[in-house]
Amino acid sequence: MDGGQIAGSGRVDETIRMADKVNVKLNKALCERARQIVEKVGYSSLEEYIEHAVGRDLSTLEQAESKEDLIRKMKGLGYLE
């Protein structure tokens, strides 16, 4: 039996899946803007889109080699002016 399966049920054990997730609160207006992107682009869910967007920006920021490089990258992504 796979560690993510319940014996005989054929479905993923929600307890195991939820252990890999955390809740994040977003401003309703921001969330609505993201939902519009999800509908236009065809992401399977709002969660998938947000994970992709945050992951993409984190990948860029993690490549910074110094504090100055990090600040430059954050400005490039629009986080800082």
Question: At residue 41, what is the residue type?
Answer: V
Backbone angles phi, psi at 21, to 5 degrees: -125, 155
Task: Calculate the dihedral angle through the C-alpha atoms of 17, 21, 27, 33, rounding to the nearest 10 degrees.
Answer: -60
Q: Which helix (H) or strand (E) holds 60?
A: helix 46-62
Determine, yes or no, domain membership for 17: no
Residue 7 is assigned to a structural domain of this protein: no
Q: Give the chain's domain count.
A: 1
Q: For residue 68, is it within any domain?
A: yes
Give the pLDDT mean for 14-39. 85
Q: What is the 3-state secondary structure (H, E, C) of 19-39?
A: CCCCCCCCCHHHHHHHHHHHH
Q: Can you give the pTM of this predicted structure?
A: 0.65
pLDDT tens sequence across 8-20: 445 555 555 657 8
Structural domain contains residue 32: yes
Residue 59 lies in a domain: yes
Structural domain for 28, as ranges: 24-76
